[in-house]
Amino acid sequence: MKNLTLLFLLISSLEYCQEKKKEKLDFQSDIVLAIITNHYFGNNYLAQGHQNPSIGFQIKSDWLHYNKYSLGFGIEKSTQKVTEFSIGGNIDKTNTNSINLFLSYQFKMTSKFSIRPEVAFGSIELRQKSGEKFYGSQSGERYGLGANLNYSLNKAIALYLNISYNRYDLNVKTSKEFINYFNNSNAITLSSGIKFQ
């Protein structure tokens, strides 16, 4: 969280280096539809017990704008196949569901191209299944830091690309020696799609 705070202090200070415009609060909604991949890494359950990357989809909407800041929410769903049954047990896949709030800041590079650094905080749920049989779920928190790249095709549609680092802190009940292995995961997330602006 300390790194996220420092990032937004830096972004806020850079705002004064740019041309100042009249302050404006806007409730117009932008919507992103994207394909998402999570590349889990490190010594943890999602990275070592599953096929990587996970594949899924993402829906985002930034509904509150103030100057160049945007506040919104996102929903993500992805699936990973279990590859190490000695780790994953008698399940064959893990579905990952996440919902989060995000805050971003827009750097307009050209009339068509912009970069938006972004911080996110939310919840995550792992749902474990074998065929249609549900074996249980684990929940926790998600922290994200990344950037969106937007290229406007016209006034209504833009191409969208996001790269971010995400940390997941889960609440899996396990023995002490396996707490870090099952409860802490990291991922590099890539998503691409279309933004309706």
Q: Is residue 27's pLDDT more than 90?
A: no
DSSP, residue by residue, 127-190: EEEETTEEEEEEEEEEEEEEEEEEEESSSSEEEEEEEEEEEEEE-----GGGHHHHHEEEEEEE
User: 3-state SS of the chain: helix, strand, coil percent to 5?
Assistant: 15, 60, 25
How many helices, marked H, and strands, marked E, lie in the chain? Answer: 4, 10
What span, in angstroms and rounded, lies between the C-alpha atoms of 145 and 59? 17
More confident position, 18 or 63: 63
Give the per-residue pLDDT at 77: 97
Q: What is the pLDDT of residues 77-124, one digit of tens each?
A: 999 999 887 776 778 899 999 999 999 999 999 999 999 999 999 999
Stretch 2-9: mean pLDDT: 48
Domain boundaries, the chain: 26-196
Query: Can you name the CATH fold of 26-196?
Result: Porin (2.40.160)
Q: Tokens representing 22?
A: 């009249």
Q: Measured in whole angstroms, how far is the alpha carbon of residue 9 from the centre of its chain? A: 21
Q: Please measure the distance between the N-terminal and C-terminal CA atoms of the chain and give it in whole angstroms.
A: 30
Q: Quick one: pLDDT at residue 1?
A: 52
The three-point CA angle 49-53-57 to 5° equals 120
Give the tens place of pLDDT for each residue, 29-47.
899 999 999 999 999 999 9
User: Which of 15, 144, 7 has its CA nearest to residue 69?
Assistant: 15
Residue 22 has pLDDT above 70, yes or no: no
pTM: 0.82
Q: Of the candidates 68, 63, 65, which has an alpha carbon nearest to the alpha carbon of residue 21?
A: 68
Render pLDDT for 124-140 as a digit per residue (tens, 0 to 9): 999 988 877 888 888 99
